[in-house]
Structure 1
Amino acid sequence: MSWINALADLQQRGEPCVLVTIIEERGSTPRNAGSKMVVSADALYETIGGGHLEYKAMKIAREMLAERSRDTRLERFSLGASLGQCCGGATVLLFEPLGQPQAHIAVFGAGHVGRALVPLLASLPCKVSWIDSRENEFPEAIPAGVNRIVNEEVVDEVENLPAGSYYIVMTHNHQLDLELTAEILKRDDFAYFGLIGSKTKRVKFEHRLRERGFAGETVQRMRCPMGIAEVKGKLPVEIAVSIAGEVIATYNANFGEKSNVPRLVPESRRAQQPTRT
């Protein structure tokens, strides 16, 4: 498989990879500048000439994948005893991480806002699970890379998600929203939790959650209303853009941090959050 086809196939499957390119070649070696190789977690596509250099490039690429690196990287290799070569010279390789998912996002609810939001999230470097109990609410065409989950017991899906996930709750039922909120806060290992609704809904939920014994600092991690204040409007697509923007801001701010507590908009702007109904 060519490197171009490999990239397209890996992107379709939502699998991250690193594109390795020979940028510069000095010395009497058979390698050609511009040669490319795609490295995934368990496969290689194309070649940059084989040998120990290719092995070292593969090792670096897979270390980048394990670290979820997003930064491009240049490495210079002296061709000599360290690479098992009999001649001098040097090779410069460019490592470009591609398709690295920045977030695992669970969207609860296949209503109007959910149908506007999920295609936006699917176009980001994220893994998306779209969850609802009502199979007929999902559109016929599900965006590529989105895992549609139909489960009568929607709340049970919370425990199936990995630590550090992003939760977006926008179901058709306030009581279901409350039960999902309780399960998500009980885990308390999320990177982001947004609940659709107004400030009034937030106050009601905070009261009910305190009655259930949740600490105030845990409840404060809930984003309700959610979305970027500057993106205003009541249309589903406008609300969806606002939420997607906040998700992007969160994973960009949190990238590389070990803490699961999201850094969002400044405290001074939080009181300006728009009302969502």
Structure 2
Amino acid sequence: MKVWSLIARTLEAQGACALVSVTRAEGSVPREEGARMLVTRDGFHGTIGGGTLEWKALAEAQRLLGKPRQVKLLTQSLGPDLGQCCGGRVTLAIESFELSDLAQAKDLASREAKGPFTLSDRLPGITESFGERRRTVLVFGAGHVGRAIILALAPLPFDVTWVDPRPEAFPGAMPQNVTGFSGDPLQAVAAAPDGALAFILSHSHALDLAIADAALRNKAIAHVGVIGSATKRARFERRLREAGVDQARVAAMICPIGIGGIRSKHPAAVAVSVAAQLITLDEALSASATHGILPARNAG
């Protein structure tokens, strides 16, 4: 969630809002430090974990709506204070914003749009992180499964490039995090940023193979997945090796795509499986980068 752009838009439309931030999380808690929820006159956006903690935070935030700028710190032990099963302890910062804060919100929204940044002592003694590092996901194919995957990825923190050479295959509207591309799929492969994930499910096995060949040769793409079966994988492996694609990259190709344990072939079920797999791959890559470890390219 781009916090400051949402605050700015809300102030322009309604003149007031309140922000709830998890500033400290100890033990077993529903959300991590930095989780946020924006409360408006009409409802709220985001979550700090649900349950009694969130209802109490909502009530406190609603009491601050429309009042001059102020910050309230609220510390709760989830078990003793709220009767929640989690045994952790959470500190929340609940702050109000009014129209006079719009200029600052716009300035911070501009910084947020450029990427992650930190603020120190905006809230006394607290260093805050804003903005997201969003991984690029390339989805090749706008058929039934492709459409289902796009919908499954819509609420997730990915920047999705949806590729199909048939312009008429795309729906009239797309989720905000999706950019359609109806040109040559190999151009989309060549333009992939470092660390991208490429999942291939086009209308043609021949096109799938051509895209897989190009994607596996592009070392910027961390993982390559292809929809299919064990038989399709065997055929693709043989042809890719014959074409001179690096054997380690071919062996690491993900085919079939999706996590194990889901047997349904319904497009929505496949999409859930693929979305879960993409989250797992993204988290593994991010953890490797955080610890200074170069991930194995395209480990399936």
TM-score per shorter chain, which class? 0.5 to 0.7
What residue in structure 2 maps to residue 45 of structure 1? 105
Partner of 1:257: helix, strand, or coil? Answer: helix
- Cα separation, partners in 2 of 1:46 and 1:144, compared to 1, 3 Å: closer
Q: Does 1:261 align with 2:293?
A: no
- Cα separation, partners in 2 of 1:9 and 1:156, compared to 1, 3 Å: farther
What residue in structure 2 maps to residue 65 of structure 1? 116
- Equivalent AA in structure 2 for residue 106 of structure 1: L
Q: How many pairs does the alignment contain?
A: 213
TM-score (normalizing by structure 2): 0.60
Identity %: 31
Q: Does 1:221 align with 2:252?
A: yes
Matches of residues 158-173 of structure 1 in structure 2 within 5 Å? 158-173=189-204
Partner of 1:175: helix, strand, or coil? Answer: helix
Q: CA deviation at 1:263?
A: 8.5
Q: Does 1:134 align with 2:166?
A: yes
Alignment gaps of 5+ in structure 2: 11-18, 24-68, 73-94, 98-102
- Cα separation, partners in 2 of 1:46 and 1:114, compared to 1, 3 Å: closer
What residue in structure 2 maps to residue 269 of structure 1? none
- Equivalent AA in structure 1 for residue 125 of structure 2: V
- Equivalent AA in structure 2 for residue 245 of structure 1: A
Q: CA deviation at 1:190?
A: 1.7
Q: Does 1:116 align with 2:148?
A: yes
User: Among residues 208, 211, 215, which one is paired with 1:180 in the alignment?
Assistant: 211
Q: CA deviation at 1:4?
A: 6.5
Q: CA deviation at 1:63?
A: 11
CA distance in 1, matches of 2:8, 2:149: 24
Matches of residues 228-267 of structure 1 in structure 2 within 5 Å? 228-258=259-289, 259-261=294-296
- Cα separation, partners in 2 of 1:114 and 1:163, compared to 1, 3 Å: same
Partner of 2:173: helix, strand, or coil? Answer: coil
Across the aligned residues of Structure 1 and Structure 2, the Cα RMSD in angstroms comes to: 3.7
- Equivalent AA in structure 2 for residue 149 of structure 1: F
- Cα separation, partners in 2 of 1:44 and 1:185, compared to 1, 3 Å: farther
What residue in structure 1 maps to residue 43 of structure 2? none
CA distance in 1, matches of 2:223, 2:114: 27
CA distance in 1, matches of 2:113, 2:143: 39
What residue in structure 2 maps to residue 203 of structure 1? 234
Output one character per residue of 1:140-188: Cα deviation in whole Å (capped at 9) or x when no partner. 221122101111x222211112111010100011111111011111112
Output one character per residue of 1:211-266: Cα deviation in whole Å (capped at 9) or x when no partner. 1112221112210011101222111111111111100111122214233436878x
CA distance in 1, matches of 2:179, 2:8: 19
- Equivalent AA in structure 1 for residue 250 of structure 2: V
Q: CA deviation at 1:122?
A: 1.8
Output one character per residue of 1:99-147: Cα deviation in whole Å (capped at 9) or x when no partner. x143101111000000100011121011011110111111122112210
What residue in structure 2 maps to residue 93 of structure 1? 126
CA distance in 1, matches of 2:207, 2:106: 50
Is the 2:225–2:253 Cα contact (8 Å) retained in structure 1?
yes
Choose between structure 1 and 2: higher strand proportion: 2
Alignment gaps of 5+ in structure 1: 11-18, 24-30, 38-42, 48-53, 78-89, 266-277
